Structure 1
């Protein structure tokens, strides 16, 4: 699972560089996200703009990351493609997550590939 991270003092943006988060990659996604977010910090924004498909395993992985962060460190989502947005809407996860339309209004810091 290809992820890279953009860090600012109070925001970590994790860019998913894959077209799918599905059963085949859900465990890898959770492991990589856990590695990224272990450091203390502020909000975490998950950029899903390159993800065109997510299944129940992928959705479960995103929810697991949210739970692992805890209530004091929110996980927000951005750039949902139509198919991914539909999954979040149909499962009512759009009421659980803060979903931003795009990253264009967020200041970017340095980028680190993983």
Structure 2
């Protein structure tokens, strides 16, 4: 039985066109990392889909995946816990929101506390 598609993303980037003059532009421009003082980050505290355990989530980072992963590594080392960097978000295990906000503010980021 064929897999049912729920969105165009399920096609994996496949493009089909009936236009004879269609030209596929494969210029995947890498996003530039914005300077720290121009970043507007949000610090969330979340426990959804984590078995009731808390996680600190940093959203709003604008830059390359490598820079995002480097910042995530700094935060994980600072807090001494695990975490992940994916989809433009940094997920840190545990409630370290205040510590992370202080660190990011010292690094020049604009950080906003979101939620309780």
TM-score by length of 1: 0.30
Of Structure 1 and Structure 2, the greater helix share is in 1
TM-score by length of 2: 0.30
Between Structure 1 and Structure 2, whose CA radius of gyration is higher?
2
Of Structure 1 and Structure 2, the greater strand share is in 1
